[in-house]
Amino acid sequence: MTVLEAATKAALVPTPNDDGRPRRFADFSTFCDALDFAAEGACGLNFHDARGTLARVYPYAELRADALVAARRLIAMGVQPGDRIALIAETGPDFAALFCGAMYAGAWPVPLPLPTSFGGKENYIDQLVVQITSSDPAMLVYPDEIAAICAAAAERCGCKGLTWLEFAAAAEPSDAPLPTPDPDAISYLQYSSGSTRFPHGVAVTHRALLANLAGHSNGMSFQPGDRAVSWLPWYHDMGLVGCFLSLIANQVSADYLKTEDFARRPLAWLDLISRNKGTTLSYSPTFGYDICARRISSQSNVAERFDLSRWRVAGNGADMIRPDVMQSFVNAFADAGFKASAFLPSYGLAEATLAVTLMPPGEGIRVELVEEERLSGTPRDLSRPARYRAIVNCGVPVRGMEVQVRGEHGEALAHHHIGKVWCRGTSVMHSYFRDPEATEACLVGGWLDTGDMGYLNEEGYLFIVGRAKDMIIINGKNHWPQDIEWAVEQLPGFHQGDIAAFSVETESGEETPAVLVHCRVSDPEERVKLREAIRDKVRAITGMNCVIELVPPRTLPRTSSGKLSRAKAKKQYLSGEIEPYSLAA
């Protein structure tokens, strides 16, 4: 960085927390209307570099101006309403302007993932090819830094590929009138983080988007002085909808770290929150809190480095919420002013735009201990002591959303009975793009089958116990992979994400649990001891012998948002793509 660049950065003034106007809680007909209103105020987006230094201030007025230019450029390039514009979702002004510009042009932006540190170049190209083929876009636009691999994916699909700079020079903006936004038109396509071989592009209308943004902003009780801080990727629904689109529609300023910068320096997230002079709204999956707690040693004086006393909403979602991890975070950062009551568990999915349920602010993490027999669906073996799992309360339905828990035949279940979670509301998706069969399978009579299992209590709070498709069923008994994985994590040396559990078929044709475990031990004899310790731990949970495989670190596959993909782990294990260490019997 030159002296001039450093001086320029030092002179930057972030957008204010409030702009003096009464807040509108996403009560707009279309997202274009929401950005038009936000642009009349002083709030905006603030992008920080890898060390957390403010690098770019981007008021909503400037975002709107850039988006309108992008819209007119798209029209000049022949883009029609309903065309898809695929965008590599880099956290920054280029993506933000083109995403919003596509909406102004009546096109459907399609955010696609950036490369991750796992999977490699070819796997990334393969993933892009699948999602480009599915969404059939008019063009793919991407950052200059990854132009070669993105261009390769576009070329393989016969799709026009452009860098941000090439797009800006591709055509003079048209002076033709912009289309009138339609509340019931599709606003964007969202691919879920697990969309790989069989991708599902979730089509979300403007009406659905604004209903969800209003639902969760009212549920989180946005207040004067609130300011968002986020490192979440914009290709994931929680990052895109909750930490980008929502902030525009609710006129909230935000501070951003890029996801890859958070991965390298997780505590920069907490540094940014500490410098925030407003009350902080910030979300993370469980693993984000886990990484930060692990980075702090018992000798660290967190009070000297951090001030987390103004962190009003510490949201948690996107994967199973771990109460033990949340407690570890509280233990690590209480001296820095963090309050356990700031935790706000939630539940949602892209097919519902985002939020389905939210914990009311200030209630924190609340758990119920659920007996194994309820989770397994079979009577308890009285020869073994009773076992329980702590299930986190994920809150009540957001405004405009209904939730039911149903049994095998579609019947609504009574309180505390575990079944499939269904939801209904304005913010439920329009459809899966060009996939009527998949749409019909999960949308029934206006209700969405979420694919998740859970139960409701008497007060209408939702408790999620796991994904139906991940459940391991052996001899009529349900085994939740999370229970097996969490049990193994209690052994020394393991971290969250080191274990994947699923069922496999043995040579005799019977189903049995298989557990793949990242192994960092090199001594062959120690590996054998480790495998036996894992086998004993899993036997204590399942009551049976399981297939235990030790695999090299960083072997287990992840989704684009960093979550463990059990389905892909099973596929790669069975195909031989994952090669376990060879151990003596």
- pLDDT score recorded for residue 70: 98
Q: Decide: 419 and 399 in contact? Cβ < 8 Å.
A: no
The pLDDT tens digits for 170-210 are 999 999 999 999 999 999 999 875 444 457 899 999 999 99
Do 281 and 375 lie in one domain? The reply is yes
Do 122 and 154 lie in one domain? The reply is yes
- Range with lowest mean pLDDT among 50-64, 263-277, 481-495: 481-495
Longest dimension (CA), the chain: 78
Alpha carbon distance 122, 114 (integer Å): 13
- pLDDT score recorded for residue 476: 55
- Range with lowest mean pLDDT among 307-311, 394-398, 439-443: 439-443
Do 298 and 391 lie in one domain? The reply is yes
| 384, part of any domain | yes
| 257, part of any domain | no
- Rounded to a whole number, what is the distance in angstroms from the first to the last CA of the chain? 57
- pLDDT score recorded for residue 449: 92
Do 429 and 300 lie in one domain? The reply is yes
| 526, part of any domain | yes
> Position of tokens 């700079």?
165
Mean of the per-residue pLDDT values for the chain? Answer: 88
In eight-state DSSP terms, residue 409 is: T
Do 374 and 521 lie in one domain? The reply is no
The pLDDT tens digits for 304-330 are 999 999 999 999 987 778 888 889 999
Total number of domains constituting the chain: 3
177 beta partners = none
What average pLDDT does the segment 520-533 reach?
A: 85
Q: Which long-range contacts (CB under 8 A, 24 or more apart) does 487-493 make?
A: 487/537, 487/538, 487/540, 487/541, 488/515, 488/517, 488/534, 488/537, 488/538, 490/537, 491/530, 491/533, 491/534, 491/537, 493/520, 493/521
Cα 317–318–322 angle (5° rounding)? 60
Alpha helices, DSSP H, located in 50-204? 60-76, 93-104, 120-135, 147-157, 164-168
Burial class (CB in 10 A: 0-12, 13-18, 19+), 525: exposed
For residue 26, the SS3 value is coil
| 17, part of any domain | no
The domain boundary residue, chosen from 214, 234, 254? 214
Do 314 and 430 lie in one domain? The reply is yes
The pLDDT tens digits for 25-37 are 999 999 999 999 9
| 182, part of any domain | yes
Stated pTM of the model: 0.84
| 504, part of any domain | yes
Q: At 474, is the pLDDT very low, low, confident or very high (cuts 50, 70, 90)?
A: low
The domain boundary residue, chosen from 467, 486, 514? 467
- pLDDT score recorded for residue 250: 97
Roughly what angle, to the nearest 10 degrees, separates helices 267-275 and 286-295?
90
Alpha helices, DSSP H, located in 158-258? 164-168, 206-219, 237, 246-249
For residue 273, the SS3 value is helix
Q: What percent of the chain has pLDDT over 70?
A: 89
Strands in 431-432's sheet, in edge-to-edge order, are: 186-191, 201-205, 431-432
Task: Give φ, ψ of 557 to 5 degrees.
Answer: -75, 150
pLDDT above 60 (res 65): yes
The domain boundary residue, chosen from 214, 232, 254? 214
Do 197 and 84 lie in one domain? The reply is yes
Residue 89 belongs to domain with CATH number: 3.40.50.12780
Do 453 and 535 lie in one domain? The reply is no
Q: Decide: 94 and 173 in contact? Cβ < 8 Å.
A: no
Alpha carbon distance 364, 329 (integer Å): 13
In eight-state DSSP terms, residue 241 is: I
pLDDT above 50 (res 437): yes
- pLDDT score recorded for residue 3: 46
Token readout for 522 is: 């090199």
- Residue 305, phi-psi category: left (phi > 0), alpha (psi -120 to 50), beta (remainder): alpha
For residue 4, the SS3 value is helix
Do 543 and 457 lie in one domain? The reply is no
| 223, part of any domain | no
- pLDDT score recorded for residue 536: 81
Structural domain of residue 506, as residue ranges?
Answer: 471-575
pLDDT above 70 (res 407): yes
- Range with lowest mean pLDDT among 234-248, 373-387, 429-443, 453-467: 373-387
What average pLDDT does the segment 211-226 reach?
A: 94
Do 283 and 155 lie in one domain? The reply is no
- pLDDT score recorded for residue 384: 64
Do 480 and 432 lie in one domain? The reply is no
Q: Which of 175, 180, 237 is nearest to 33 (CA)?
A: 180
For residue 335, the SS3 value is helix
